Chains A and B, each alone.
Chain A
Amino acid sequence: MEVQKEAQRIMTLSVWKMYHSRMQRGGLRLHRSLQLSLVMRSARELYLSAKVEVHEPEVSLQPARFLDPRLHSRREAEAEAEAAPLDGEQPSPEPMDTQEAPRAQEAPARGGPCPAKVSRKRRSSNLSDGGDVGLVPSKKARLEEEAASLEIPDRLQPSPAQAEGAFPNLARVLQRRFSGLLNCNPAAPPTAPPACEAKPACRPADSMLNVLVRAVVAF
């Protein structure tokens, strides 16, 4: 349990560090982003393995649905990541599949369930966990679970001012998807980071962890 909590805390911390690093003067630092994503991946692996040890396999899916990149549509993940390169360091977007990006814009607004469409794209081997393939439930079952169990604690509701910030969707998705994590984290940063970069509309992503991890390396 302790291990889980610690892993959760580190994951949340890493997400915020990644987020903050985008605001830095001089642009996103590739090395720093890579290091953060490595820590995040280790934390996730630790979290998943701790969960497996402690709980039944079905229950262990709860965090997995937040974290496993393959459980959710990759379209939105990539669409989000595609937005990232615009403030990254590449002169042109990295080979993300742009043809699916427009479809992602029709993705449901906040509060809606994640799209049921399964991505036809090749899974990223960089981020996948070979070990938890057996833990993945069918997509349908998980969506129902998700809709039923989504809860956002009051204290984590974005204030109106926050929600109108430069990254309204990102902030909302962070809080929604990480409600479990943020619940357990006493050190969760209370406010959204200041907006100082114009950014095209963020597309809500199903797996924020996956998105952010890939966003920072895929630019």
Chain B
Amino acid sequence: HMFRDRTVTSSVSWCCFPLGVLSDIISTVEFNHSGELLATGDKGGRVVIFQQEQENKIQSHSRGEYNVYSTFQSHEPEFDYLKSLEIEEKINKIRWLPQKNAAQFLLSTNDKTIKLWKISERDKRPEGYNLKEEDGRYRDPTTVTTLRVPVFRPMDLMVEASPRRIFANAHTYHINSISINSDYETYLSADDLRINLWHLEITDRSFNIVDIKPANMEELTEVITAAEFHPNSCNTFVYSSSKGTIRLCDMRASALCDRHSKLFEEPEDPSNRSFFSEIISSISDVKFSHSGRYMMTRDYLSVKIWDLNMENRPVETYQVHEYLRSKLCSLYENDCIFDKFECCWNGSDSVVMTGSYNNFFRMFDRNTKRDITLEASRENNKPRTVLKPRKVCASGKRKKDEISVDSLDFNKKILHTAWHPKENIIAVATTNNLYIFQDKVN
């Protein structure tokens, strides 16, 4: 078992390896399947990929830091002339393909267009051409007196990114999710009302598999907020809605999966009913566990774990920042109530993590039922120092080191987090800083 069996919330000490400031607001973070590469997308349409250093066997306490590996402009702003609308270049999601050869492939998407990028290394170049000088100029053929076979010589590593496929013009609404199927040949893309199925090789065609657009748009009551393929069953996917429901669909049942196979919904707690109940129940992220047995959903105030075999309620619910429930009106005023937090599983599905405000992020250990709040900030975290657990004082007397709800900074929010598939390494994005935390190996 590659994953250490330690309770993350108590015995693991997290320390920080700062990665520096990215110049634009980070909009997505994703580890690849091995965890060696970490991709970030930003509001300016750029993708920055970090690579973990090869493990230094001598200095075993330093387990591979992440350094910039490649940077490229994935999407540019576009203009839809028909609707007089600008199409933002912001990268909404990045998903890695599993590695099949020397090159790496990822899908990145903005609101309307998905692109398949190939990232490849070049560390040698041919030298010794007969007709060309080393600088590329052509030689005068009359000066060629001997022939030689060009050879490859090492060069400084160059990482190149090239767009291999562009999947465009299939979404009327804004794309919120992409998910690669376990068959590694197809993937889905979801917007507010529709989900399309693509083949990675085919860009001029996609199949619509879910369409919840009502005939009369005035009757619209819910939108699709996230979608994901099951990690093992290539026929199964889920999509979440703004009403707090999750639908599991089986593509074998019919071509158009408007009728779900399962509907996951928890009845609302009447004591919690408030003015804003409806909008805080909207699910902002859905993620299958690595095992495929569970899925996790994130709504505004909580994280819920669902067993795929039980539709009527989640098996676990974790409150992320319940102290905000009495502040919903203010959060509506400053638009924070619309923030879309993501969530993620650790490699063994024993811990889940999600972000909050004040640059706090939370981890919940499903086995011990313990949770921890940590902060990602440069003032508080010098490199290689251990993170101190934080605590928010909801009401009453504030203890030393606690932070009161009213002094939380709602402009500092952690929406995007990612967990290494095998190690206790996490990537946490604040507005435009990326932090990598690793557990301190003694």
- Which residues of A are at the interface with B, using a C-beta cutoff of 8 A? 6, 10, 13, 17, 25-27, 29-32, 34-35, 38-39, 42-43, 46, 86-91, 94-95, 124-127, 197-198, 214, 217-219
Contact = CB atoms under 8 A, between A and B. Distances in A.
Contacts, number: 93
27 contacts: A6-B329, A10-B275, A13-B333, A25-B86, A26-B87, A26-B111, A26-B174, A27-B87, A29-B174, A30-B220, A31-B223, A35-B242, A35-B338, A39-B275, A39-B276, A39-B278, A42-B275, A42-B278, A86-B83, A87-B85, A95-B215, A95-B216, A95-B217, A126-B219, A126-B221, A214-B218, A218-B217
A217 B220 contact: yes
Interface residues of B, number: 35
Contact of B88 (A26, A87, A217): A26
Contacts of A91: 82-83, 172
B241 to A, nearest CB: 10
A98 B193 CA distance: 24
Contact of B84 (A87, A125, A217): A87
Contacts of A218: 217-218
B375 interface: no
A96 B85 CA distance: 21
Contacts of A10: 275, 329, 332
B172 A89 contact: yes
Contacts of A25: 86, 88
B184 interface: no
B173 interface: yes
A141 B88 CA distance: 50
Given A42-B278, A43-B275, A91-B172, 8 more contacts: A13-B332, A27-B86, A27-B174, A30-B192, A35-B278, A35-B282, A89-B172, A124-B218
Interface string B78-93: 0000111111101000
Nearest to B174: A29
Interface of B: 82-88, 90, 111, 172-174, 192-193, 215-223, 225, 242, 275-276, 278-279, 282, 329, 332-333, 335, 338
Interface core residue of B90, B218, B333, B335 (most chain A CB under 10 Å): B218
Given A27-B83, A30-B173, A35 B218 contact: no
A95 B218 CA distance: 9
Contacts of A95: 215-217
B192 A31 contact: yes
Contacts of A31: 192, 223, 225, 242, 282
Contacts of B223: 30-31, 34
Given A39-B276, A90-B172, A34 B220 contact: yes
Contacts of A214: 218
B218 A126 contact: yes
Contacts of B220: 30, 34, 217
Contact of B86 (A26, A34, A43, A46): A26
A35 B332 CA distance: 11
Given A89-B172, A217-B218, A27 B278 contact: no
A27 B193 contact: no
Contacts of A13: 332-333
A214 B220 CA distance: 10
Contacts of B86: 25-27
Contacts of B85: 26-27, 87, 89
A39 B88 contact: no
Nearest to A29: B174
Interface core residue of A25, A35, A218 (most chain B CB under 10 Å): A35
Contacts of B111: 26
